[in-house]
Amino acid sequence: MPGFQTALANAAAGCDAAAARLAQVAQRLGDAAFQTPVDPELLAAERQIADAAAASAQQLRTDPGLLHAGRIVLHEGRTVPLIVPFGERGHLATSVDARVEGVANLVRTAILHAVGTREPGGLRVVGIDTATLGASFAPLRPLADAGVIEAVATDTRAAADAVALAEAQVAEHIAGRRTDRMLLVVASLSEAPRTLVERIDALARSGLAHGVTVLGCGLPELPQAAVMHAVDGPASQGRVAITNPPAAPFGRGERLAAPVDWPETPDPSFVAGEALRLAERAKAAATLTFADLIPAQPESGDPAKGLEVLIGRDAAGEVQLRFDDATPHWLVGGRTGGGKTVFLLDVLYGLASRYAPSDLALFLLDFKEGVSFTEFIPTDRDRSFIPHARAVGVESDREYGLAVLRTLSEEMTRRSTVMKNYGVASFAKLREHEAYPRIVCVADEFQVLLAGNDKVASEAVALLEELARKGRSYGVHLVLASQTISGIEALWAKQDSIFGQFSMRIALPGARTVLAANNDAAARISLGQVVVNTEGGTAGADRVARFPDTDSHVMHRLREQLGEAHKGVGAPRVFYGYRPVHLAEALPGERKPGRALLGREVSLRLDAAGADLDRRPGRHLAVLGSDPVGGEALEAAAESLAGNGTRVLAVDFTGNADLRAATDRVAPEAFAASLGEIPDGTVIAAWGLDAAALDMKAQQALRALLRTGPARGVHLLGWWRTFRRFTDDIGGSAGREDVACALVLNLPGGEIMGHFGPQFQHWSPRAGRALLIDRHADTGGGKLVVPFSRMEDQAAPGPQRSGGTPIERTRP
Ligand SMILES: Nc1ncnc2c1ncn2[C@@H]1O[C@H](COP(=O)(O)OP(=O)(O)OP(=O)(O)O)[C@@H](O)[C@H]1O
């Protein structure tokens, strides 16, 4: 732009000379001086300037180092743009704030110019507007929605945060961690404390070289700034006098000798259109696609020092998050529909594509209808899965979550022993000897695990604390996510020592309490954006990134690729909290002679649960409670035994049992009499024993059978729908040891603890779950199981007809 600059310099010199002459004349003649005819040379210079300015105008608009800050008023009604150094070349200040319309126009012009003349993402804008509560920025709303204007502070506290953001920008710039620029726009500051103004001055001093430009409206003392002074007085016509910009003075005097006007009020539709255009441009540039998250070279990451994953972009570029010593565990929050599922899928698919299944193991828990991890497991329609996933809980029980946490804790113990053997103290060093994978355990709606004061909650807290504290040394990482404030508070309330370990805070729109109390960054973002804060949520340490929506084709393709590359890796074990389980799905190895299978353990391995009917005293099973599932579990037990060659004698007092699996049947009315004649090696399966008419003699025969049966291979599997009748039948506490196994259904802990022990007082029955107690196998609180139920197409057979003879053979 040499033509324009030379013309401007000549004109400025001309102006200086004319101004000096004018001043002298004015001194002599007073107001009459202004009637003095204008020097024809000056008019000629002005014409030259105006022509050069018109020719260069387009070029000027694209230079981020120059700002069109108003109009220089010339003679003959001519004006030329007032161009001042800006951006990296200078700050700009005004003597009055944006309550003056011309200054508000300057604010908008400056922002649109600064954003528009840089590459998308090259400039962040932070605003302060306490006197008009943000009105100066209102027409630029799309830029705020797109995250280009990161914050507009409307009170003094927020103003201090905004200044802190700019200070952090300088610090990051000095440290070489950022190369983008920030424009701090102080549109108005009303009664700001002196210290805040001093901080802005300090920013102005160091900012030019270190990434911050200040537009300080109402701050005429701003260092390194050209200052536009509103000229007072009735004759001033709202004119402005501008001081020389320190970086590029207009001329020899202190000020530009010609009068200046504030920028004109632009057409509102132009401002709105520009803001929208720039916002769209910023969004398009800041948004990666889901496919962009998948590296070109899959599984090439080295997990020794940490795991790294690309999640999106912010103004400074790509945003990579890490699981490492600095950010070993993550806390994620956001309101319903805030994008938590999508964000977690971005992270987990990103990780799975970067690291091999031997380097990364995923444990995925979902405690409510929230995130569903079906994208990791085979489904009826799509058999592909993510081979990194080791265990997945969908709408998991708390006990399942606990089992996963226990497994991780045991894994840490195992690793610690190995590390001691090698004499190393970090996961990175361990990897030099053995290729242990890093483990990432995601618990969505984790607060469910901590709810209440029961044993599960207290054990979960203890385990979480241990994992949070020690996980980093052993390569075990937690991601706790919650949609509710109470979720995060639950963790806080339970153990603040856990909370403190989560230096990585991730806040999706509407998240509260994930960030520090005075950090409201999550309130200002919209869907598709995330606040990432690696300093425990501290205000001023946020990065606002845009993350992509998921893409089911890309996910499917990756699953197929991974499946192809890791053919030998089996599908993860999946616990579906809401699904019934069936004996028919038991694996061949799970069916063993003499083992009555009753359901599936709610545990990491989801093993088949049952009672072993061996020769030890007491090897009988009582199914207790009126829930009809008790009858179905007993059917499964009978079937599993009969399938392995055990002779099963069935008797049904309920009229609803499916006795097809039984080898023999006995009519209900013949049951009492048959008790004395049970052949050796027989299992009696009895449905609804509470309805059996047992006189004293029969009851005694029953007790004798219980006491002596196992030694000769005779076992009773009995379903009592009432607890009282069960204890009566076995002879109360005297017979306690005679029935060692029980499957407890809908009977509260308070009712059974007298018989089974105080450790069962916390048992609270729930649909589809039972408590398996084996007095010989464990002294703890029993095992939570999902009892086997009938398949849906397995219709209830209706009342069974009893035969005429006591023992009727139904199957050879
Ligand atoms: N980064 C994004 N870009 C575009 N759309 C998104 C993005 N993230 C989420 N969405 C959309 O927002 C909607 C809600 O997202 P998501 O299911 O992840 O929310 P959530 O917080 O898990 O909510 P909920 O638990 O209630 O399902 C979805 O339709 C999703 O496609």
Point out the annotated binding site for ATP.
334-341
Residue 493 has pLDDT above 90, yes or no: no
Question: Which tens digits make up the pLDDT trace of 45-84?
Answer: 888 877 877 777 666 678 889 998 998 888 877 888 888 9
Report the side by side order of strands in the sheet with 91-94. 79-85, 66-73, 260-261, 240-242, 225-230, 91-94, 212-217, 181-188, 123-129, 149-153
Alpha carbon of 358 to ligand 1 centroid (Å):
30
Residue to substitute in 293, 332, 335, 341 for testing ligand 1 pocket (most ligand atoms within 8 angstroms of CB): 341
Q: Which atom of ligand 1 is nearest to the CA of 336?
A: 26
CA angle 769, 716, 596 (to 5 degrees): 50
286 vs 351: which has the higher pLDDT: 351
Note the CATH number of domain 62-284.
3.40.50.300
pLDDT tens string 708-718? 999 999 999 99
In contact, 333 and 521? CB cutoff 8 Å: no
Give the model confidence (pLDDT) of 498-513 as tens digits: 778 899 999 999 887 8
For residues 613 and 629, give the distance between their C-alpha atoms in angstroms, rounded to a whole number. Answer: 21
Closest CA to 585 of 599, 574, 571, 595: 599
The rounded mean pLDDT for the chain is 87
Confidence category of residue 125, pLDDT binned at 50, 70, 90: very high
CA of 559 to the centre of ligand 1 (A): 21
Q: How far apart are CA 230 and CA 253, in angstroms?
A: 18
Q: Which of 589, 592, 670, 669 is nearest to 637 (CA)?
A: 592
Lowest-confidence pick of 188-202, 266-280, 449-463, 541-555: 449-463
Instruction: Give the atom of ligand 1 at the shortest distance from the alpha carbon of 529.
Output: 1
**The pLDDT of residue 191 is above 60:** yes
Which of the two residues, 116 and 812, has the higher pLDDT score?
116
Written as one string, the DSSP assignment of 47-91 is: HHHHHHHHHHHHHHHT-TTEEEEEEEE-GGG-EEEEEEE-GGG-E
- For residues 252 and 185, the model is more confident at 185
| 744 or 453, higher pLDDT | 744
The percentage of the chain sitting over the pLDDT mark of 90, rounded to a whole number, equals 56
Pocket of ligand 1 (CB under 6 A): 334, 336-342, 370-371, 527-528, 547-549
Cα(370)–Cα(341) distance, integer angstroms: 8
For 535-565, how does the pLDDT look when each residue is reduced to its tens digit (9 = 90+)?
A: 989 887 888 899 999 999 999 999 999 999 9
Atom 23 of ligand 1, residue of closest alpha carbon:
337
pLDDT digits (tens, 9 = 90+) for 126-137: 999 999 999 999
pLDDT at 492: 62
Which CATH number does 330-576 carry? 3.40.50.300
Q: Tell me which H or E stretch contains 398.
A: helix 398-422
> What does the block give as tokens for 723?
């607890």
Query: Residues 619-635: pLDDT tens digits?
Result: 999 999 999 999 999 99
Token code pair at residue 63 = 């230079």
pLDDT greater than 90 at residue 201: yes
pLDDT at 379: 87
Rounded to whole angstroms, the Cα distance separating 321 from 311 reads 7
Distance between CA atoms of 659 and 165, rounded to whole angstroms?
74
The yes-or-no verdict on residue 176 having pLDDT over 60 is yes
Say what the pTM is.
0.70
Which of 223-232, 234-243, 477-486, 651-660 is predicted least confidently? 234-243
Query: What radius of gyration, in Å, describes the C-alpha atoms of the chain?
Result: 39
Q: Looking at ligand 1, which residue's alpha carbon is closest to its atom 27?
A: 337
3.90.550.10, 3.20.20.150, 3.40.50.300, 3.40.50.1580: CATH of 583-809: 3.40.50.300
User: Ligand 1: distance of its center to the CA of 340 in Å?
Assistant: 6
pLDDT at 663: 86
Give percent of the chain with pLDDT exceeding 70. 90
C-alpha 323 – ligand 1 centre gap (Å): 23
Who has greater pLDDT, 287 or 324? Answer: 324
Q: Which of 368, 512, 527, 529 to mutate to test the pocket of ligand 1 (most atoms within 8 A of CB)?
A: 527
> What integer pLDDT is reported at residue 46 of this predicted model?
80
pLDDT at 789 over 50: yes
Looking at residue 501, its pLDDT comes to 87
Which ligand 1 atom lies nearest to the CA of residue 344? 18
Q: Where are the domains of the chain?
A: 1-57, 62-284, 330-576, 583-809
How far does the centroid of ligand 1 lie from the alpha carbon of residue 544, in Å?
17
SS3 581: strand
Ligand 1: atom nearest CA of 346 is 1
177 versus 376: the higher-pLDDT residue is: 376
Q: How far is the CA of 676 from the centre of ligand 1 (A)?
A: 67
For residue 546, report the distance from its CA to the centre of ligand 1, in Å: 13
Q: How far apart are CA 516 and CA 508, in angstroms?
A: 14
Binding residue numbers: 334-341
